[in-house]
């Protein structure tokens, strides 16, 4: 009797499964995109969206995703996904899967997710068993025409030295962060620069095929440097979906101000003048200036040929110097810098041209 009961239960269960399997035929699933291009020689990340044709009362589970080539299982993504009506995931197509297919002589393969489970539609009817497969066809392509996807992000501050951390004085001007973005394909890149959790610029631009581009924080305004302490910079990408965490870099602001460098106004001689040998070079007095450095350079190579220190706002080239460093008829440049008592440059002029006349012929 007991055996009969057990047999009946098993039979009921098998019937339920069969009935459930029949119900699954009624459920279909669509994937977007239906096919993607995966880069050869790289891993590729793509966002996959699944959608049932009918919303269910309870979600179905897909315990993993599987890569198939010619109906042979070649890899598994051990990440479960629940779907009641729609679901999304960022799928990373590993480089070794692409390599496996290429070595087998294939040009495309499939990623498949099976969603299954029982759903209690109503108390009067028993549980319904559902099972549906969502498939994405993957083509192997060169990186330039692969699905637009990010491969790597590198952040740094200094465009030349690629410093990934720095310290600047307060109110330093011109601090910018850079992001080298390595990617496959081409498309619209959306994201934003974030400093200490505050959005400082949104980026929304078309990225041509090429594999790498460099983004920078704006020039005006530059990164905020008015608050001493440390500040964390991130570039957060919102599209395309990335499968990796966002990197960050840190800059520190010192508690002392960047010296304000003001323009220093030259007075005489006027730019481009011919001047006599005993002419005085003059400029406007600068507040807090402890000393002025007057520099003279040759126009042809801009190299400094002579300089002088003075506390006055006028300077006359001494005759011994004139004969040693200057040549009549040639064009020279002169400029002035002023320094405070701590030897910081507090003002700087532009360079003006002058020439000395030919000496009278005997």
Partner 1 sequence: MNARWLILCMVLFCMPLPPTYAQEETVSAANVETSWILSSSPGPHEEVIGKKPEIRVFFTVVPVAGSITTLLDGVDITPLIVPTGNGFIYKPVFQVAPGPHELTISGEDSEGNLLQAVLPFRTRHTKSFEEATLNADVTGVYTTTLRKDAHDGTTPYNAVTVEGMVQGRISEGANAFSFEASPVYVEQDKPLGAGSVEKGPDLRSFLLRGEHTGERLQARAEFGDVSVDETPFTVQGLLRRGLKIDLGYGNGALSFFTVRAPAIYGVRNTWGLRYEKDSQITGGSASLFLPCLRTDVKATFLTGEDDSTLTYGISGIETGRRTGDIASLRITSQIIPAALIADFEAAYSRYDFDDADEFGKVSDTAWRAALAGAVNQYSYDLKYEYYGRDFESIALQGGTKDREGIYFTGNALFTYHSMSIMASAFWDNVDDLSIMPRTTSIPLALDYSYTRFAQVPMGFSVYHERVKTKDEPAGFDPFDTVTDSISGRIGYIREKWNTDLNVTYTYVNDRTRADLDTSSGSYSLAFTLTPTAYWTISLVPNLVQQKNEKTNVRTDIYTTTLDLRTQPVRDLIYWDLMGSHTVADATDDSLDMETTTVSTRLACSLKRYSPTQLHPVIALKGYYQRMKDKVADTKTDEFAVFLAFEINGTFGL
State which of positions 60-99 bind partner 1 (CB under 8 A). 92, 94-96, 99
Find the part of the chain contacting partner 1 (CB under 8 A) among 23-31, 62-70, 79-87, 151-159.
151-159
Find the part of the chain contacting partner 1 (CB under 8 A) among 23-31, 113-121, 122-130, 229-237.
229-237
The C-alpha angle with vertex 267 and arms to 265 and 268, in degrees rounded to 5, equals 145
As a whole number of Å, the end-to-end CA separation of the chain is 142
Count of residues engaged in binding partner 1, rule: CB under 8 A: 113
**244, 270, 274, 299: residue in contact with partner 1 (rule CB under 8 A):** 244
**31, 62, 141, 338: residue in contact with partner 1 (rule CB under 8 A):** 141
**Shortest CB 343 distance to partner 1, Å:** 6
* Alpha-carbon separation of residue 187 from 150, 231, 239, 241, 244 (angstroms): 11, 31, 9, 12, 19
Of 13 and 230, nearer to partner 1 (C-beta) is 230
Q: Please tell me the distance from the alpha carbon of residue 218 to that of residue 305, in angstroms, as a whole number.
A: 38
**Shortest CB 198 distance to partner 1, Å:** 5
Tell me, residue by residue from 105 to 134, as one string, x for binding to partner 1 by CB under 8 A and - for no binding.
Answer: xxxx--------------------------
3-class SS at 258?
coil
**210, 214, 272, 278: residue in contact with partner 1 (rule CB under 8 A):** 210
**236, 277, 331, 345: residue in contact with partner 1 (rule CB under 8 A):** 277
Find the part of the chain contacting partner 1 (CB under 8 A) among 46-54, 58-66, 120-128, 260-268.
260-268
* Alpha-carbon separation of residue 281 from 132, 321, 349 (angstroms): 88, 15, 13
Tell me how long the chain is. 362
Q: Please tell me the distance from the alpha carbon of residue 249 to that of residue 227, in angstroms, as a whole number.
A: 17
Structure tokens at 121: 């539609």
Q: Report the relative pairing of strands 128-141 and 35-39 from DSSP bridges.
A: parallel
Of 53 and 99, nearer to partner 1 (C-beta) is 99
Residue 204 is given by DSSP the state E
């Amino acid at each position: 009797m007991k055996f009969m009961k057990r047999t009946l239960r098993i039979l009921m269960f098998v019937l339920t499964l069969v009935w459930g399997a029949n119900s699954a035929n009624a459920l279909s699933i669509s994937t977007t995109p239906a096919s993607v291009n995966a880069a050869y020689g790289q891993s590729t990340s793509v966002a996959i969206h699944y959608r049932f044709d009918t919303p269910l009362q309870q979600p179905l589970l897909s315990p993993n995703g599987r890569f198939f080539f010619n109906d042979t299982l070649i890899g598994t993504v051990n990440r479960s996904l629940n779907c009641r009506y729609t679901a999304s995931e960022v799928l990373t197509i590993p480089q070794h899967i692409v390599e496996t297919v290429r070595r087998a002589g294939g040009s495309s393969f499939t990623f498949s997710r099976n969603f299954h489970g029982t759903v209690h539609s109503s108390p009067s009817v028993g549980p319904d068993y559902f099972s549906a497969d969502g498939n994405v066809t993957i083509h192997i392509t060169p990186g330039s025409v692969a699905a637009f996807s990010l491969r790597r992000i590198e952040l740094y501050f200094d465009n030349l030295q690629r410093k990934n951390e720095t310290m600047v004085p307060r109110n330093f001007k011109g601090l910018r962060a850079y992001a080298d973005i390595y990617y496959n394909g081409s498309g619209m890149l959306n994201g934003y620069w974030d400093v200490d959790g505050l959005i400082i610029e949104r980026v929304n631009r078309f990225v041509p095929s090429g594999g790498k581009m460099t983004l920078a924080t704006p020039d005006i305004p530059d990164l905020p440097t008015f608050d001493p302490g440390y500040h964390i910079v991130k570039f957060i990408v919102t599209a395309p979906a990335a499968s990796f965490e966002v990197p960050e870099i840190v800059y520190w602001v010192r508690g002392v101000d960047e010296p304000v460098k003001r323009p220093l106004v030259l007075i005489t001689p006027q730019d481009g003048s011919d001047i006599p040998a005993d002419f005085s070079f003059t400029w406007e007095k600068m507040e807090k200036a402890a000393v002025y450095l007057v520099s003279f350079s040759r126009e042809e190579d801009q190299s400094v040929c002579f300089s002088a220190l003075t506390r006055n706002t006028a300077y006359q080239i001494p005759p011994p110097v004139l004969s040693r460093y200057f040549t009549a008829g040639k064009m020279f440049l002169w400029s002035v810098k002023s320094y405070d008592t701590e030897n910081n440059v507090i003002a700087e002029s532009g360079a003006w041209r002058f020439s000395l006349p030919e000496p009278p012929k005997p």
